[in-house]
């Protein structure tokens, strides 16, 4: 069975500091995609970053980077220079290429940035 786990239900970070949100997954598939989404209180899902299972380099998008460790089956999100507007729920998700292309989500981490 494929499963996504986010072990941190909530986290605090000081403004301007970096923070790492954990995500581990369990699959025997070789081909898959890893996503991170941000969900503010309004409910919309904002795409942050993507990593393909065959990508050799860690993905980066502005202040977001993905620490992909395939052997450990982890895909942690690193947010550098946290801003107050980063306070939100963050979801790790996977798309298993042999499973209809839908996303399977982790339980989420609520990040709160302190001024």
Partner 1 sequence: GAVVSQHPSWVICKSGTSVKIECRSLDFQATTMFWYRQFPKQSLMLMATSNEGSKATYEQGVEKDKFLINHASLTLSTLTVTSAHPEDSSFYICSARTYRGNTEAFFGQGTRLTVV
Shortest distance, position 78 Cβ to partner 1, whole Å: 19
Binding site for partner 1 (CB under 8 A): 33, 35, 37, 42-45, 47, 50, 52, 91, 95, 100-108
Shortest distance, position 73 Cβ to partner 1, whole Å: 19
Nearer CB in complex with partner 1: 14/60: 60
Nearer CB in complex with partner 1: 57/115: 57
How far is 30 from 42, CA to CA, in rounded Å? 35
b/e map 68-106, b = 16+ CB within 10 Å? beeeeebbbbbbeebeeebbbbbbbbbbbeeeeeebbeb
How far is 73 from 56, CA to CA, in rounded Å? 14
Shortest distance, position 16 Cβ to partner 1, whole Å: 28
């Amino acid at each position: 069975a494929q499963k996504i786990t986010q072990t941190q239900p909530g986290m605090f970070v000081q403004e301007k500091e970096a923070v790492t949100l954990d995500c581990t997954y369990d699959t025997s598939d070789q081909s898959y995609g890893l996503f991170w989404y941000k969900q503010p209180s309004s409910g919309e899902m904002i795409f942050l970053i993507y990593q393909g299972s065959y990508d050799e380099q860690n993905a980066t998008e502005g202040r977001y980077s993905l620490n992909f460790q395939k052997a450990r089956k982890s895909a942690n999100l690193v947010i550098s220079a946290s801003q107050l507007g980063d306070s939100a729920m963050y979801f790790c998700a996977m798309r298993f290429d042999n499973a209809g292309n839908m996303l399977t989500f982790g339980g989420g981490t609520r990040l709160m940035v302190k001024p």
